[in-house]
Chains A and B, each alone.
Chain A
Amino acid sequence: SQQGEEDPQALSIQEGENATMNCSYKTSINNLQWYRQNSGRGLVHLILIRSNEREKHSGRLRVTLDTSKKSSSLLITASRAADTASYFCATDDRAGNMLTFGGGTRLMVKP
């Protein structure tokens, strides 16, 4: 079973708009990560947020974490056509040995 579930499953926006994706999970975590996957490629790590952090920024990316609601959001500001990809959240098990990935959000940014 998947620990993290992304919402929405698919998102289509115009270039320049902001894109927000959400992730919900079920059990306690040490940290939560976001990855991007371009079509036909492997996953690329975007950002890691620890359970004691509430917000983190990296360039045009902003991630929030609400451990009381067991949810996280990824915001991409001023989106570009090159941001078109699938985005996955991943949570660790309490032992920290492995990650469990959600089903992903497919983002399309139209030029």
Chain B
Amino acid sequence: NAGVTQTPKFQVLKTGQSMTLQCAQDMNHNSMYWYRQDPGMGLRLIYYSASEGTTDKGEVPNGYNVSRLNKREFSLRLESAAPSQTSVYFCASSEGVGQGSDEQFFGPGTRLTVL
């Protein structure tokens, strides 16, 4: 099992460009999450999906949109990138429905730079 996979690993954008970060898990988990991690900081939750077909805002949702495409896949879209969105983005999943308090499994991250 690959666990949680993310693409791309690295991305450089110009201000105003758009892009979609992809995430997939093969553990049949119900809940999925998108976090961002700024240098020297902890993770902050952007959006989460407690089950297939549902999404909810986290702590820092502004400037982002998400799609829970199916049970396996959860994508994060930046419609108009800004330098403040330069960060490392992590996708995670957990087994239960709406059970963020379960153990979460993390992908390797996408390092995004917005110029």
Contacts and interface: CB of A to CB of B under 8 A. Distances in A.
A98 B106 contact: no
B53 interface: no
A2 B42 contact: yes
B98 A96 contact: yes
Contacts, number: 63
A28 B58 CA distance: 19
B59 A96 contact: no
B51 to A, nearest CB: 11
Q: Which size class do B's interface residues fall under?
A: 20 to 34
Contact of B109 (A33, A41, A101, A102): A41
A48 interface: yes
Among B44, B101, B107, the one with the most A-chain Cβ atoms within 10 Å of its Cβ is B101
Contacts of A78: none
Q: Which of A30, A92, A98: most chain B CB closer than 10 A?
A: A98
B2 interface: no
Interface in A26-65: 30-31, 33, 40-45, 48
B90 interface: yes
Contact of B107 (A40, A42, A102): A42
Interface of B: 4, 33, 35, 40-45, 48, 50, 56, 58-59, 90, 92, 98-101, 103-109
Interface of A: 2, 4, 30-31, 33, 40-45, 48, 88, 92-93, 95-104
